[in-house]
Structure 1
Amino acid sequence: MRWSQLKKQLQDRFAGSVAASIDLNQTRYRHAHDQEGEFWISLRGSRIFSAGSLSYLSSLGALTAKNRADGSTPAQAYELAWPVMDSSGLFLLEQMNKDLFCSLSLTVEDMSEHNNPVIRALAIIDAPYGKRRLAAFDPTTQHPLVQKLHNTRCEAEGITAHISS
């Protein structure tokens, strides 16, 4: 599916209260190897999240080099790097697109439990994500993007955000 089609389908699911202030974007670097690119989310024109293949691959290379310097074999260096990369918040553009596409067929509950923080954040601004669920949700242990979009939706809906003591 083309990015423009995927973007439209994702944004059509946004709650009306936040739809005009949140934008999803993507670009491909045509002159980069394999046309790597970047995905970002903007709130009222300001970028609040960005994930790009080049950042991911650069971090992966640095981490595997560190593991190699610590005495790991090349295979061990990558094996040690994957769990760290999975928890880093960095994503390959291809994985991001796959997760975004798959989210179209997920329920809000499934999106809320997804391992990708972008999908969890999109669940919060999804129209079926109700006001009671929004008010009861505690984002303090979540990714900063999830927290930001939760606060944004709460403000837009006139809901006092849940704050954990």
Structure 2
Amino acid sequence: MRNQQWSKVKKKLDSFICDSLRNRVQFTVTNYRKAHDQLGRAFITVDKKEVLNMCTIVSSREIFWKGHEIRNAQSIEYDVCNKKENYEIGIQAHEMIKAEGIFAQYDFFDAVEEYFHLPIEKVLESDHIIIKIFSLIDRRVGKRTLQRMRESIQNEQEIIQYFYNLRCEADGIRGLCKK
């Protein structure tokens, strides 16, 4: 998917947004040419207000610090020659920050690609925060499905609850969204 133009990917992604949120939710990608990897950030806005920022620089910094915490907790000294250990700690740190809701631009692209290839039933079952957000604003998800999700959404992260409440409000089922 990274070989595709963002405008085409965005158009396809936008086509999945439900009618009630079509002009309210936007996906944006910004690349920084002068960054060492020329990556930047992806972000989701609702009513022109940024609600989820997926910045590669922030993610990289958090992976570094989380890796440092892992090494300290396990009394592992950094060895530049031990590539396997460094790689495994990096993967573990990345998974930990994603679980905390910290994403890089490439995490957004990976989630979009996975979302495009999954049937809606699998999208709804996903544990991936970004894919879960996509499912909550997806036009293929109806009011009855949203109502069935109410119990499980209460145990989700704040950003997922936000999108659930946004969709409920937009579809006129506000009573379901209150705790």
Same fold (TM over 0.5): yes
8 Å CA contact 1:118–1:145 kept in 2: the answer is: no
Change (3 A) 1:112 1:73: farther
Please tell me the root mean square deviation across aligned C-alpha atoms, in Å: 1.9
Which range is displaced more, 121-130 or 82-91?
82-91
> How far does residue 92 in structure 1 lie from its aligned partner after superposition?
2.5
Change (3 A) 1:73 1:121: same
8 Å CA contact 1:124–1:149 kept in 2: the answer is: yes
Name the counterpart of 2:140.
Answer: 128
Q: What code does the residue aligned with 1:108 have?
A: I
Of residues 113, 119, 128, the one that matches 1:116 is 128
Name the counterpart of 2:101.
Answer: 89
Name the counterpart of 2:81.
Answer: none
Q: After the TM superposition, which parts of structure 1 deviate over 6 Å for at least 4 consecutive aligned residues?
A: none
Indicate yes or no: 2:112 matched with 1:104: no
Change (3 A) 1:64 1:5: same
Which range is displaced more, 54-63 or 100-109?
100-109
Q: How many residue pairs were aligned? A: 164
Query: 2: distance between equivalents of 1:60 and 1:73?
Result: 17
Name the counterpart of 1:2.
Answer: 5
Query: 2: distance between equivalents of 1:86 and 1:47?
Result: 19
Of residues 130, 141, 147, the one that matches 2:161 is 147
> How far does residue 83 in structure 1 lie from its aligned partner after superposition?
4.1
Indicate yes or no: 2:77 matched with 1:73: yes
Q: What code does the residue aligned with 1:10 have?
A: L
**Structure 1 residues 102-161: Cα deviation after superposition (integer angstroms, max 9, x where no partner):** 211222221122232111111111111011111232221112222111111111111122
8 Å CA contact 1:6–1:101 kept in 2: the answer is: no
TM-score, normalising length from structure 1?
0.88
Which range is displaced more, 56-65 or 81-90?
81-90
**Structure 1 residues 51-96: Cα deviation after superposition (integer angstroms, max 9, x where no partner):** 1111111011112223344521332654653442242211232232
Name the counterpart of 1:161.
Answer: 176
Q: What code does the residue aligned with 1:52 have?
A: C
Name the counterpart of 1:48.
Answer: 51
Name the counterpart of 2:65.
Answer: 62
Query: 2: distance between equivalents of 1:11 and 1:18?
Result: 10
> How far does residue 6 in structure 1 lie from its aligned partner after superposition?
0.8
- Give ranges in structure 2 of 5+ residues lacking alignment: 79-84
- Give ranges in structure 1 of 5+ residues lacking alignment: none
